[in-house]
Amino acid sequence: MREIPYYEALIEAQAEEMRRDESVFLMGEDIGLFGGTFRATEGLMAEFGARRVRDTPIAEAGIIGLAIGSALAGLRPVPELMTMNFAVVAMDQIINHAAKLRYMFGGQFDMPITIRAPGGGGTQKAAQHSHSIESWFVNAPGIRVVIPSTPHDAKGLLKTSIRSDDVVLFVEHERLYSMKGPVPEETEDLLIPLGRADVKRAGQDLTIVAWSMMVHEALKAAETLAAEGIEAEVLDPRTLDPFDWDALLGSVSRTRRLVVAEEGWRTLGVGAEIAARVQEALFHELDAPVQRVAAADVPTPYARNLEQQALPHADDIVRAALKICT
């Protein structure tokens, strides 16, 4: 099977869905002539024209507002926010309108909006451009949160998201864009259902659940643990809403130990919810308390050495695992 970078998988997914459905269109800052800050829309304006690949002003609330109106009119907008942190500027439109309108009007219309947003730290973009704030959106009913860790999952989940009739926040970690991985040829219609986790590595001694960039840190940690005779299962939920609780609880009921690894802040993060639910469901089956690995509760520093200290790494996962396995 061919290997392509994450960003090319995103380009293919968008192009295939635009060819399939004329109601799909893209919009965002620098996505057209420039091809996107991370090249994830490169070449699409040349194929589909400026009518369906629209460069917008720097106005995130306006971008999402336009997406809402377009969806109500029967289109399938795919707005891109230049960074996940800029979603904060559009929070009223996302949380107070896009996520709630279908419910408030009794399901009389759909809201097929797929918001693409780069996120994550580790690239020295300082405190206003470097965070993993997906937990803020998981907390809000009415939004699907999709967060793939590989090119294969990025393509299959983006195609599914665009076809969904729900509001989807599609989070892409900035350090994943250049990462290569196997993806089937374009002739195959790759669709991955939302809410279905994937076992990235099988194991029987403990479960590590991680998403986005932290999946790769978890896999590094699993290799280190294997050298110590501990076989870790790495489970990637791929979507945080809907979350595949059956897959997670099934894994933990076998391994009897759990480490949750996320790049978001520790306090009130997604990991806290996972830990609470697992201990509610499997308290008597756990051999040790659930361990959480997360970013320090500080704005991400610009200085590289401090940024690396603030972010979680494979070594942190190893230490958490050894704490409950030895």
- Residues labelled catalytic: 60, 129
- Measure CA of the first residue to CA of the last residue in the chain; give whole Å: 40
Helices (H), the chain: 6-20, 44-48, 60-72, 91, 101-104, 134-138, 151-163, 213-227, 245-255, 270-282, 304-310, 314-325
The C-alpha atoms of residue 21 and residue 76 are separated, in whole angstroms, by 9
With 0-12 / 13-18 / 19 or more C-beta atoms within 10 angstroms meaning exposed / middle / buried, residue 51 is exposed
Q: Cα angle at 171 between 185 and 223, to 5 degrees? A: 75
Say which residues have a Cβ less than 8 Å from residue 309's Cβ, sequence separation at least 6: 296, 301
The residue to which tokens 């609780």 are assigned: 245
Phi, psi (5° rounding) for residue 263? Answer: -90, -10
Measure CA 285 to chain center.
30
Helices (H), 165-212: none
**Which secondary-structure segment (H or E) carries 50?**
none
The number of residues making up the chain comes to: 326
